[in-house]
Amino acid sequence: AIGRQDVGEEVEIVVVDSGSQDDSVEAARALGARVHEIPASEFGHGRTRNLGAELARGETLVFTSQDAVAADETWLATLVRSLAQGVSVAGAYGRQLPHDDATPPERYFLDFLYGPDARVQRLDAGAEPDFEQTLFSNVNSAIPRAVWLEFPFADDLIMSEDQEWSRRVLRAGYELVYEPSAAVHHSHRYSIADAFRRFFDSGVSAERSYAAGRSGSGALRRAGARYARGEVEWLWRTNRRRWIPYAAAYELAKFSGMQLGRRHRLLPVGLKRHLSALSAYWE
């Protein structure tokens, strides 16, 4: 999908593979990618993306993940062009559309975070960024190399390295651009247990990313209440009412995982390994 992009610049593809057991490495090399292999135990969301940026030669860094597929042939050019809106733009990120097999709760989740409206995220002088201002995703993002060199990703977070990064650049006076027309297909079919583990890890990182600062927790609670109301209304309005009981259990698992993750310092390491989606982080 990257190779099919209609873009008037040289595109270098760097793949950091953390222990694939299928033919991903061979397929990537056959398609012309530069592949760097690491053991699965060395993977870290921030650390591995920093490694990929170090290996790349270009002045514009584009980040994506193995389960995201460009929605059309203009994705890359549109995403990179968004960086040209001003010298104060530190990064741009695009929309995430569900795969065909996505469940209704996952579809609502993606539309809640990555909807159809473009926006520019910035901070007023002296203000603290809230949950919505720090939204940024390395599933589909572009950053000038010069900005990344000044603000590399945190390499000690279990996840949410992108929102921890966005918080730092916003506080430094930069802006972030959300461009919905630069879209990828990306969604998950998490089980309820998977959702708990994913949001446990999210909660572990929350105090340094989207829930940091004096107003972080309050803004997160307000967004959570708005999300819950909106999801039930959307399921009802779109005749997906039979999904409401499942959505309630699914969202409760996410909420419980996040709250427990935010209190992870009270838990023994062995239990955290069991609750986490990235158990190697706790070694």
> For 148-153, what is the mean pLDDT?
98
The token pair at 68 is 């995201």
Whether the per-residue pLDDT at 216 is higher than 70: the answer is no
214: confidence class by pLDDT, cuts 50, 70, 90: low
Conformation bin of residue 120: beta by default, left when phi > 0, alpha when psi is -120 to 50 = beta
Neighbours of 116 (CB within 10 A): 9
Residue 215 has pLDDT above 70, yes or no: no
DSSP state, 243? G
For residue 13, the SS3 value is coil
* Tokens standing for residue 35: 């592949």
pLDDT in tens, 26-73: 999 999 999 999 999 999 999 999 999 999 999 999 999 999 999 999
Helix (H, G, I), strand (E, B) or coil at 132: coil
Residue 158 pLDDT exceeds 70: yes
Centre a 10 Å sphere on the Cβ of residue 148 and count the other Cβ atoms it contains: 22
The share of the chain scoring above pLDDT 90, in percent, equals: 87
**pLDDT, tens digit, 9 for 90 and up, residues 176-191:** 999 999 999 999 999 9
Question: Among 206, 235, 277, which residue's Cα sits nearest to residue 112?
Answer: 235
pLDDT of residue 223: 83
Confidence of residue 15 (pLDDT cuts 50, 70, 90): very high
Neighbours of 17 (CB within 10 A): 17
Helix boundaries (H) for the chain: 24-30, 45-55, 75-81, 104-113, 145-150, 161-171, 192-206, 216-237, 244-262, 269-275
Per-residue pLDDT tens over the stretch 247-259? 999 999 999 999 9
Is the confidence at residue 121, as pLDDT, over 80? Answer: yes
Dist CA 214 CA 130 (whole Å): 10
